[in-house]
Structure 1
Amino acid sequence: MFAAHPYTGQRIGLATMHEKERAVAPPFRRLLGAEVLPVPQLDTDELGTFSGEVPRPDALIETCALKAELAFRTMDVDCAIASEGSYGPIDAVPLVPSGVEIMAFVDRRRGLRLIETLPTHRTNWRLVRFRAGDPNIPKAIEAIGFPHYGVFVLCSSDMAHPVKTGLDTMEQVVATMDREARRSEDGKAVLIADMRAHRNPTRMRVLRALSYKLARRLARLCPKCQAPGFGSIGNRRGLPCEACGDPTHWVHFEIDGCSICGHAETRPRRDGRMTAPSRSCPSCRPPPGLGKSRLSPTVSAF
């Protein structure tokens, strides 16, 4: 099954301190026959931490690629993987948390760099503030999923020094919340979900889904040069209107490409749709400011 694939039997380094190999290794083994191994003696926290003590040095995608490159420092491999995640409230709906996971794959021998992303609403991310002795603290801790999910505690006036250790029991978390609240300027402590993969089963499941997405992309070989990773590089808009045939803003076709030789091919929309609804067509829609005819509610005025 894997005989013709370039990564069959290959060792791939995974830049992680948080056991992400549990999510990443199975898809790569199953789809590519490759062995994903955590990189030894690697401190990925130098490129940023979820708890905020160390900021990311660059945008999320660039930081993810930099993290993958770290694997080559201490591991004799040609290929490396890394992931980065960002979670928090949605701007438009502040009470609904969401996130995005990004995974980078680097093949330094072939000069290949691929980035795959996966937005998700599957997260237990929470950030809440309490005063010392608040009776609702235990309920908030349980709502995050503790003890199966980890938590951080922070002093609201000293967010750069979160408490990560010694939070193994409900009593320890509550006592830490009370202590950090008493030393804060506003009298509040912050409780936040621990989003590190080994302390967050939901995030680990999202990482596994993204790993399958990346492995499937790598499984496709370029029809021209046979390099791995032939896949989506964009799309072209202009799907014709069902009524008049003019181009609309709807996607007309997808474009797959190879990042090694530049070969590209188009493919139809996955839903098989050949035309766009007339309501999305600039030629068929009524001009702005014109409503419906006063003579008939079913006839548009042009």
Structure 2
Amino acid sequence: MHWQGCDVAFLTQHGKQHLVGPPIEAALGCRILHTEGYDTDKLGTFTHELARPGSQMDAAREKARIGMALTGSSIGIASEGSFGPDPVGGFVPWNTEVLLWIDQKQDLEITGWAHGHAQSLQKPIQSLQELELFALEAKFPEHRLTMRPSHEDHPAIIKGIHNVPSLMEAFERCRSQSNNGLVYVENDLRAFCNPTRQNIIRNAASDLIQKLQSLCPACDAPGFWVDRRIPGLRCRVCGRKTRLPISEVWHCQICKMQEERAIHTKALADPARCDHCNP
């Protein structure tokens, strides 16, 4: 195995090592070196104190780099999440997680991805009745909450609210500090506070493991995976090519070998997916 007995740095301060460490160690035979030697909130927070300066991947690379520097390991992993509307209708809260693996000696970078419905609600409220309804919808107390006075950018934020007494205390404190009678409450999106997000992080770890265990048929390097998909599946009604894929191109980062593989799913495309039949 490529990483049997190797130390792998993992910088996280939100408990992610418990989610991804055991399956990765079991699959690869490596050792996860957890470190909290850097405040990852400096790379951006979900609660607006500090905006993420770059992309999701930029933040993951920086976390991996810092983790490797702190531990002295040449291999590192990093986890980074993002939240927004779903990519289809734009109405459902959506969570995208990336788990990045970097091996400096092999000049290798492999990513595991997972996506899914997010438990990510936010709302300005005024009364205890509104708070009770929001807490139910936000799946509290299994999912923790954050609260702040007045609006979503107020600096006096209370995080990690996890039971009814702390919820009531936070509400009264924020209401007393509010200049407009509103209290802004939302799901706490940090990994240890949000079980829904935890499941998506686990799925990203599974995706990463599959890619790490996929070896190039030419040079045996790990990370042999789909680089792009080639469209052209023909429509069942008109016979024209659609944008649906007909094959995949697999790629090796090390020797640059490429291999086209047919996708054996449907023989023909549904006309609903055809730009000619359904313009």
Query: Structure 1-normalised TM-score?
Result: 0.82
Deviations 1:49-101 (A, max 9, x none): 1222121110112212221111122112121111111224448454x322111
Of 167, 171, 192, 1:198 maps to 192
Are 1:151 and 2:167 matched, yes or no?
no
Whether the 8 Å CA contact 2:33–2:71 is kept in 1: the answer is no
Where in structure 2 are there 5+ consecutive unaligned residues? none
Percentage of pairs with the same residue: 28
Q: Which has the larger radius of gyration?
A: 1
Q: Which residue does the alignment assign to 1:229?
A: 223
For residue 11 of structure 2, the aligned residue among 9, 12, 15 is: 15
Residue 112 (str. 1) matches residue 108 (str. 2): yes
Q: Supply the AA of the counterpart residue of 2:184.
A: V
* Structure 1 residue corresponding to 2:208, chosen from 214, 230, 255: 214
Pick the aligned partner of 1:164 from 155, 159, 177: 159
**Aligned-pair Cα RMSD in Å:** 2.4
Structure 1: which 5+ runs fail to align? 289-302
1:134 aligns with 2:114: no
Spell out, residue by residue over 1:108-146, the C-alpha distance to the aligned partner (whole angstroms, 9 max, x if none): 11111122321101x322112111x43231332243233
Query: What secondary structure is seen at the aligned counterpart in 2 of 1:159?
Result: coil
With over 3 angstroms needed to count, the CA separation of the structure-2 counterparts of 1:216 and 1:130, relative to structure 1, is same
Q: Please, what TM-score do these two structures have when normalized by structure 2?
A: 0.89
> Using the alignment, how far apart are the partners of 2:137 and 2:273 within structure 1?
43
What is residue 247 of structure 2 aligned with on the other side?
A: 253
**1:77 to 2:73 alignment:** yes
1:275 counterpart = 2:246: no
CA distance in 1, matches of 2:180, 2:36: 42
1:279 deviates by 6.1
* Alignment CA distance shift 1:173-1:278 (3 Å): closer
In 2, the alpha carbon distance for the partners of 1:90 and 1:186 equals 32
Once residues 200 and 259 of structure 1 are traced to their aligned partners in structure 2, the CA distance between those partners, rounded to angstroms, is 35
Q: Equivalents in 1 of 2:214, 2:242: separation in Å?
A: 31
Aligned length: 277
Q: For the structure 1 residues 168 and 207, does the alpha-carbon distance in structure 2 shift closer, same or farther, using more than 3 Å as the test? A: closer
Could you tell me how far apart the structure 1 residues matched to 2:9 and 2:247 are? 35
Supply the distance in 1 between the matched residues of 2:156 and 2:64 (Cα, whole angstroms).
27
Residue 189 (structure 1) aligns with? 183
